[in-house]
Structure formats: structure tokens, C-alpha cells
Structure 1
Amino acid sequence: MAVEFDHFFKAIGHQGAGRINLETDTFKAVLTNSAPNLATNEFLADIAQIANGNGYTTGGVTLTSVVWSDPAGDGKWRFTSAEFKWTASSGAIGPFRYIPIYSDTSAGDKLVGRFDFGSAIIIPDGSVFGITPGTDGIFRTGKGTLA
């Protein structure tokens, strides 16, 4: 299933102005079942995260092995990371439909973009839900997909 990544409108401006640094910032992913507003949401505090517990920690998981590069040298820059995941324990996690990504380094924890899975997901107790970026990474000069 391909899942698209959409930028929050203000994120591109923050990246251009250096308030979000795709090469050096620490990025995190959170879970929400409330539709983030791409046009108006700007900070993590604008997102209603799911409840803390059962393997979900408020503030989300840290993306590792983050890379901002032009791997083919063709001007198609890619933002990617290693797989990131949540493991449900002592109960289910969710429901959630959206996975916003934000810069934990930026002032106010600025939002970058979000994945929309189209319907609510529940991670059953003892199960793992992971995101593995596809060949386009999390996004590629604007929009990417999950493989």
C-alpha cells in the first residue's frame, strides 16, 4: 500500500529560512487520529496526539539514520530515515490515522508533514507497526510514498 506524505504549508518556508534543517535536526514521528490541518498547523502543540501508554510515548519516536541527499545527482533530493516503529504492550495502541513528522530541534517543534492512512489503525497488544520509507524516502523534493 502506497501512503503519501504531505507537507504542512509553513514547513517549506521554515526549511528555506533555515528554521528546519533537514541535514542536522532531530526528527520525530507521532500518532494522531485527529486530522492535522496542513494549511494552519505549524507546531507539534497543534496536533492532538493519541493517549500516552501501551507502548506509545507522547512526543513520538525518533527517526534514526536521517539523510537529506541527492543520491542520483539528478537534482531530486530525498529525505529518508531508517524504519521507525511502535510496539503495543499491555494493551493496544490507537486508533490513529495520521503520522505527523516534526523537527524536535526547531523552536516550538515545527511540523514537517504527515502521512494519512485513509482510515483508523489499531496496533493490537503484542504487535509492531513500522514505517519503512520507500525508494523516494519519506519525501523527495516535495512528496514521497511508503513502499
Structure 2
Amino acid sequence: MASFNKFNSFVEALAEKVHNLGADQLKVALCAAANAPVATNTQLSNLTEISYTNLSSRNITTSSSAQSSGTYKLVLTDLVLSASGGSVAAFRYVVIYNDTATNDELIGWYDYGSDLTLANGESLTIDFDGTNGVLQLA
């Protein structure tokens, strides 16, 4: 899987209590190659998302949100996106954002390198790192 890229504003948003990563509902947004996220984006409205017609739920489940020996780790359950009733628009970027936060603040994104398309009945598993977590803070 592609590397995790954090949005610059995520660091400040953590310090200013915008995110409660252990309790807030995190979600993915999908963007096409022509609408790439950039590190200076701050909230979901800064992005141009694809149409989610025919796509399954984009809600992410948090497996654990804890620290050990002064290092915090956020572990997310792998997310399976499935197309049903037709194909899903092409996308390249998978963006994680906080759906609970007032402005749907952005956390980070993955670049798959080229557009992906899900035809009716196909699925994609977003494999979040279960060992190292999506992110660590030390």
C-alpha cells in the first residue's frame, strides 16, 4: 500500500483539541488524479471528491487508540469498499478525515499511483497497517 501523507494542519488540530482519535468517527474520501490533495489542505471542503453512487460505507472502525511507553499509536480496521448496483467513479487518492469534527478536518492521505475503478461487484481493501498503526506520535 502507498505511504501515509499527513496534512500540515493535522498537527495543529491535534494540539487544539479538534481530534479525539479514540472516539471520533473517521471516514475516507476519494479523489481522482486530477484533484490531488495537497499538504496545505485543511478540511474536506478543500477537496473535490468523486461521486459515491454505488459505493459501500466509507466509515472507518478504530481498533485501538493508545500509548505505550510514551508513544501513541492509532490502529484502524481494514476498510473494504465495494461497488454495488453499478461501477464507482475512478479515484487515485484515499483521504482520511474526521467526520465528527465541525469542519470535517483532514488527517492524511494515500496515493495509489494511478486511478482505480471499481466495477459492479468488485471491491478494494484499504489495508491499514495493523502492526505499526496508521500513525504514531512520540
TM-score under structure 2 length normalisation? 0.88
Partner residue in 2 for 1:13:
12
Partner residue in 2 for 1:100:
95
Partner residue in 2 for 1:145:
none
Partner residue in 2 for 1:118:
113
User: d(CA) in 1 for partners of 2:83 and 2:27?
Assistant: 18
Any unmatched runs of 5+ in structure 1? 143-147
Please show how residues 1-147 of structure 1 align to structure 2 within 5 Å: 2-33=1-32, 34-39=35-40, 41-55=41-55, 61-70=58-67, 73-134=68-129, 135-141=131-137
Instruction: Please state which structure has a larger fraction of its residues in strand.
Output: 2
User: d(CA) in 2 for partners of 1:89 and 1:108?
Assistant: 29
Q: Secondary structure at the match of 2:101?
A: coil
| Aligned alpha-carbon RMSD (Å) | 1.8
Indicate if the aligned counterparts of 1:55 and 1:86 stay in contact, CA closer than 8 A.
Answer: yes
Q: Structure 2 vs 1, CA of residues 103 and 66 (structure 1 numbering), >3 Å: closer, same or farther?
A: farther
Q: Secondary structure at the match of 1:117?
A: strand
User: d(CA) in 1 for partners of 2:64 and 2:15?
Assistant: 17
Give how far 1:90 is off.
2.2
**Cα offsets for 1:97-119 (capped at 9, x unmatched):** 10111111111110111111111
Q: How many pairs align?
A: 135
Moved over 3 A (4+): none
Give how far 1:74 is off.
3.9
Any unmatched runs of 5+ in structure 2? none
Q: Which amino acid aligns with 1:80?
A: V
**Cα offsets for 1:44-75 (capped at 9, x unmatched):** 1111110131225xxx61111342223xx343
Indicate if the aligned counterparts of 1:15 and 1:22 stay in contact, CA closer than 8 A.
Answer: no
**Cα offsets for 1:78-100 (capped at 9, x unmatched):** 11211112111222213101011
Indicate if the aligned counterparts of 2:22 and 2:62 stay in contact, CA closer than 8 A.
Answer: no
Give how far 1:136 is off.
1.5
User: d(CA) in 1 for partners of 2:51 and 2:101?
Assistant: 24
